[in-house]
């Protein structure tokens, strides 16, 4: 949390230092946000909803497709910015139906195969953009050759019933 406050202050105090980051595809000019913004060594990515093809039930075959669509979009933004899923340090997951949490996890974790998992929050959210069943927002960190990739720190793991 301490590191986020200086980054937020830097962004607010010096908008010229915050630069839109490359995205895999140009976004329509009518959308009121950037796909990603780089501030120093941190890449903040806008939430990705994936796209559930028209006619698919978002809670059957379409849900898994939406997870893959969102994660593939994040992967494209990462790649266009010289990063990969191993550089992701935090994800926030919004699910229209929390009953989909196990299905989300099953489709999400393969993107981090062979890499450490980022920190993560997940919560239920009613009324996601465009009726999406989920939204995934991530933050990634650039590393220096001497610092290496971010690694998990020792701490107490949560326990779930």
Among 27, 70, 74, residue whose Cα is nearest residue 49: 70
pTM of the model: 0.72
> Tell me: the pLDDT tens digits for 67-83?
999 999 999 999 999 99
Sheet (strand 19-20) strand order: 19-20, 36-39, 42-45, 134-141, 88-95, 119-124
pLDDT at 91: 98
More confident position, 147 or 125: 125
How far apart (Å, rounded) are the C-alpha atoms in residues 147 and 86?
Answer: 14
Query: Which pLDDT band, with edges at 50, 70 and 90, does 5 fall under?
Result: very low
- The superfamily in CATH containing domain 33-141 is RutC-like (3.30.1330.40)
> Tell me: the pLDDT tens digits for 10-64?
444 444 455 556 555 444 556 678 889 999 999 999 999 887 656 555 555 688 8
């Amino acid at each position: 949390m301490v590191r986020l406050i200086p980054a937020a202050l830097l962004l607010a105090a010096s908008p010229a230092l915050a630069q839109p980051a490359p995205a895999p595809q140009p976004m329509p000019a009518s959308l009121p946000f950037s796909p990603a913004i780089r501030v120093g060594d941190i890449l903040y990515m806008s939430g990705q909803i994936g796209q559930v093809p028209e006619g698919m039930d978002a809670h059957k075959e379409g849900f898994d497709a939406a997870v893959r669509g969102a994660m593939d979009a994040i992967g494209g933004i990462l790649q266009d910015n010289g990063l990969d899923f191993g550089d992701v340090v935090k994800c926030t997951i919004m699910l229209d139906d929390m009953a989909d949490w196990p299905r989300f996890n099953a489709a999400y974790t393969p993107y981090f195969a062979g890499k450490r998992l980022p920190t993560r929050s997940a919560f239920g959210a009613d009324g996601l953009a465009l009726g999406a069943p989920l939204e995934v927002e991530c933050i990634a960190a650039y590393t220096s050759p001497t610092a290496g990739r971010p690694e998990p720190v020792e701490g107490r793991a949560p326990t779930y019933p």
